[in-house]
Amino acid sequence: MDGNVLQWMVEHRIVWVTSLFWIITTAGSTAAMFAWSIAGCVALLRTARRADAVMVAGGMLTGWGAMSLSKLIFGRDRPPVPERLVEISTHSFPSGHAMMSALLATLAIGVMLRSTTEWLHRPLVLAVPVVASFAIGVSRIYLGAHWVTDVLAGWVFGAAWGLLWIYAFASRAGRTERGPSATKKGPT
């Protein structure tokens, strides 16, 4: 499957689409995802949403570590150079662009759903991070930087890591609302 998808992408490259995907892949880099997450954390802190800011920061930092470790463990080579339009020396699996964008998208949606600002709950607004992550992942395949399975794994790992952080903070918030005595077991 990986080779077939890459070959199809190479055969269907168009100059203006290649330029567009260069912009998308640059805007969706791991460094850009951290810049977006820092901006989000600052905004959350300014609106007294400290727990959400900690969730985003913690999720992104640990997600980056998990992604980097995964690349070392799997050690997968990237697509070959003639097809690859991106000069990069790190391992391929999972796609860092896909994983970190899916992670940030998942955390952003979690934060938006917890917000009291109603327009943030609209389906079109909630779809923006998902569409952005999708475009970033496709750009990596189109430019030959990753195999399709690298990107699929990145999306799955990123979303799962984000959901793990959302669940952990939701569980913590539930315990805080019930108070410390609610977590004790035994006769009353």
Q: Is pTM beyond 0.85 here?
A: no
Percentage of the chain modeled with pLDDT above 70? 88
114-143 burial by CB neighbour count: b if 16+ within 10 A, else e? beeeeeeeeeeeeeebbebbbbbbbbbbbb
Q: How far apart are CA 95 and CA 141, in angstroms?
A: 10
Predicted confidence (pLDDT) at residue 176 exceeds the cutoff of 70: no
Sequence-distant (6+) residues with CB within 8 A of 66 are: 157, 161
Query: Distance between CA 60 and CA 77 in Å, rounded?
Result: 25
* C-alpha distances in Å from residue 62, one per residue of 58, 88, 162: 6, 23, 10
Query: Which pLDDT band, with edges at 50, 70 and 90, does 38 fall under?
Result: very high
Could you read off the pLDDT of 103-147 as tens digits, one per residue? 999 999 998 888 888 888 899 999 999 999 999 999 988 888 887
> How many whole angstroms separate alpha carbon 170 and alpha carbon 175?
9
Q: What tens digit of pLDDT does each residue of 48-93 get?
A: 888 889 999 999 999 999 999 998 899 888 777 767 667 787 887 8
Q: Which amino acid is at 181?
A: S
Cβ atoms of residues 109 and 132 within 8 Å: no
User: What is the distance of C-alpha 127 from the center of its chain?
Assistant: 14
pLDDT at 168: 87
**What angle (nearest 5°) sits at the alpha carbon of residue 62, between those of residues 88 and 136?**
45
CA-to-CA distance for 182 and 36, rounded, in angstroms? Answer: 37
- For 145, phi then psi, to 5°, come to -75, -25
